[in-house]
Structures are given as C-alpha cells and as structure tokens.
C-alpha cells in the first residue's frame, strides 16, 4: 500500500461512503515513546480492504486493516 498524504484520507473515506461502502477511520491519539507519525495521523479502510493513509511507518498497517475488516463483517 503506497503512502498517501493525510489530506487525501478524509475525502477518500467520504467518497467510499458516498459509493455505499462501509468504512473505518483510524486516528492516532496516543504515542508512548517515539513514533514515525505525529498524533492525529489518520488511515481510512473500506470494506474491500483498500486503505489510504498511515498510522505507523508501515509495520502495523496490515494488522489495522485486518481488524477493521473483522469489525465490518
């Protein structure tokens, strides 16, 4: 999944919802120690497993997508 800028997350999520897809919006609200992304970073996931944005440097995105899909079913 290529990283896309945070400015694309909300418009893309809204477009998915307008198309009738279920979505999840993930926001980084707490960091313990150093982190590659700042607080407020977001990631949106649709029911097809497509995602935009990043919460980490890439190490946890697959797990975040899997959790979102599990909650959509």
What pLDDT does residue 5 have?
57
SS3 category, 69: helix
Whole-angstrom distance, CA of residue 6 vs CA of residue 22: 20
Tens digits of per-residue pLDDT, 12-21? 999 999 999 9
- pLDDT of 9 reads 94
Please report how many Cα atoms fall inside a 13 Å half-sphere around the Cα of residue 67, on the Cβ side.
Answer: 9
* pTM > 0.75: yes or no: yes
pLDDT of 30-72, one tens digit each? Answer: 999 888 888 999 999 999 999 999 898 888 999 999 999 998 7
Helices marked H in 1-73 — which ranges?
9-18, 61-72
DSSP 36: S
């Amino acid at each position: 999944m290529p990283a896309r800028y945070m400015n694309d997350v909300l418009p893309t999520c809204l477009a998915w919802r307008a198309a009738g897809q279920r979505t999840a919006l993930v926001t980084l609200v707490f960091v313990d120690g150093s982190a590659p992304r700042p607080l407020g970073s977001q990631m949106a996931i649709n029911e097809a497993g497509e995602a935009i944005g990043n919460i980490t440097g890439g190490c946890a995105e697959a797990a975040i997508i899997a959790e979102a899909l599990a909650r959509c079913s």
